[in-house]
A and B are shown apart, each in its own frame.
Chain A
């Protein structure tokens, strides 16, 4: 808290100094900097958002933009340690079935209305539980929210929900103004694109598909913040163009890996730029190869293991991700601490001879054209990683006698082919693993999540009662040690059965910025947070 006060005072004095009202020497931070607040931050992003509200859409642009306008109940320090935001204190009952939040007083919405516990109850019960893609599962056990007074919200749960406490930040669960949403069609409420939040920034202008301009909200509860004078997000479709914009000074910072990795590494080496990989823990993601177990060849575990042996995941890590991450070793992401483990989890080192041996053993000798059988590989057209990796995978699998054809289609057809029509054999895609395994990982492995028609569900049609039992137990286990043990066993079994081979656990997407930009990756949320402490030297 003292740190924030300090920043506050300095920020204030700094702006006075900048305005010429006090001598620059009076500012505490030293002689070199006459300024430590303010400035204009410009950043490119893609794709363009549908809404400016991540409570009803969890896709990338909404996740990035919404936290600037809205606050969550909690924030998270590095390591996902909760910290106060709209809630100043919270208490979980012994049985884990009641969570009581004490709310901050004196907070106002951008339209001047006061923020109360009614807003919290409305947002969770009417919006997040209904319209939020992951929220339906995260808050499945949330039965009601009581509001004994304006500044207390009591969450009543039917079962303990350990994952819930990791999902209360402004990106995952922004609190919306009940007075503007109540009684309206939430999905078509105009506030969705003209946000009225409690957050540090308010909307100045929004040109659909082109740009968002934000300015500070003068009555923001965290006094002195935000530090920026103006925050401009421009939507630019081509990654190489975004990189050129940064290099030529047309933008100041690139968040969330918005430019090709090799460009990030190259520009980071140049004078005047700096890079950080912190601030992405809330969204670990991985590249994974999923098998359709309904295919009779792939139903054979030996074939799946042979394929895992034939692919040098290190090659993909080095040449597609330029070393930004770790090779996949478990269904979980290495950032999903403390649950991630490789202990006792089977591994499949790159070994073509072993792959050939396993394929022979599985009963698929080489035949015509030295090939054993033919498979279709569907890479996700989202981003370039899956497509780039698929060219490599096709080539190595050809070497062990598997004739792979890569099928490239647009995103809508890709999703339909794999998860609705199930016409696929191998599918390669990047997916977020979630702040908690319950939120991001369970969906691929639970047999109950085999739901044709729902994208990125259990597309393998994996069905192991033992795994189901472990995962269902872990989702309501409040004792962390017990949960760690459950997830360890899950990782061992799932990686032996191998419905999915993890290729790469992708590292925190780096933030790359001009050295004029300061304090741009402060906590676990990084750029997905409010960026209220960020400022730019002009």
Chain B
């Protein structure tokens, strides 16, 4: 991992990657500064209800049905989207890596059992499973995060398993075995660092996907009612799309830009970490 810093520099020189990074930085800034700029919180009913954007300079993006400032909601919503995205991707990564590494390294019956479990999670309709979990356990941020990650880990598991299967036959792994290294150490210290590139790239997609799923759940009315997310606004706005379209459009744009940023970064990472691919495109 000596090249980490160099990678970031190369990422910054990648034009669309840079654009993605800047966008993401802006979104992170929004979520960090939300508490300072809007100390009263996103729920405070600070203005008249359903104020259209541009009417009152105090509320540049207008207010919603409750007279809540939409700018404030977008800032606080960025927190939720990023939290759900990162947390569920992290859980999916941990579970996926562990399952994939064990299955790939040990093979045989263990591999068989774990892969059938992975198959099962990929066979069951994923969004439906997320909906069912959130509906049943209740719409709270931890539940939503769990419901998203429980369907996301199989992708990582397959990725890791394929790489471990390939790498474990390599000479350097065989020599580790000969010198008596423990299986755990071989997997986590020798094999995994060598298959990080595709995992990192996939992670950016997972984060983006998790943000979309959170918004979709909130759109169906399954968002955490105690947390202001972009999906919350989308759900409120959906009911008055014809009269106050901005309540839908503003969070929709924020959502698309975030997902866009993550994808640009993912693509750029792919180019940077896999120079062979970059050369081809």
Listed in ascending order, the chain A residues whose CB lies under 8 Å from chain B are 239-240, 243, 247, 260, 262-263, 266, 319, 379, 381, 384, 387-388, 390-392, 394-395, 405-410, 413
Contacts and interface: CB of A to CB of B under 8 A. Distances in A.
B135 interface: yes
If over half of A's interface residues share one DSSP class (helix, strand or loop), that class is named, otherwise mixed; here it is helix
Contact of A410 (B136, B226, B241): B136
B243 A240 contact: no
B226 A262 contact: no
A384 B136 contact: no
B127 to A, nearest CB: 16
Interface in B199-230: 221-222, 224-226
B49 interface: yes
Contact of A395 (B43, B65, B236, B240): B43
Contacts of A407: 138, 225
9 contacts: A239-B239, A240-B238, A319-B66, A387-B221, A391-B66, A392-B45, A395-B44, A395-B66, A408-B139
Given A406-B225, A408-B139, A240 B66 contact: no
Contacts of B138: 407-409, 413
B139 A409 contact: yes
Q: Which of A240, A247, A379, A408 has the most CB of B within 10 A?
A: A408
B136 A240 contact: no
B187 to A, nearest CB: 41
A390 B44 CA distance: 14
Nearest to B67: A319
A273 to B, nearest CB: 14
Interface string B39-53: 000011100010000
A240 B44 contact: no
B46 to A, nearest CB: 11
Contact of A266 (B66, B226, B242): B242
A11 B221 CA distance: 47
Given A319-B66, A413-B136, A405 B226 contact: yes
Contacts of B49: 319
A262 B49 CA distance: 13
A483 to B, nearest CB: 41
Interface string B139-169: 1000000000000000000000000000000
Contacts of A260: 239-240
Given A407-B138, A409-B135, A262 B240 contact: yes
A147 B66 CA distance: 59
A29 to B, nearest CB: 36
Contacts of B238: 240
Contacts of A405: 226
A262 B239 contact: yes
A391 B43 CA distance: 8
B233 to A, nearest CB: 12
A266 B225 contact: no
Contact of A391 (B222, B225, B239): B225
- In the A-B complex, the 9 residue pairs with the closest CB atoms: A410-B135, A406-B225, A409-B138, A408-B139, A408-B225, A260-B239, A395-B43, A406-B226, A240-B238
Contacts of B240: 260, 262-263
A384 B226 CA distance: 16
Given A239-B239, A260-B239, A395-B45, A388 B225 contact: no
A213 to B, nearest CB: 29
Given A319-B65, A409-B135, A409-B138, A381 B221 contact: yes
B225 A387 contact: yes
A315 to B, nearest CB: 9
Nearest to A406: B225
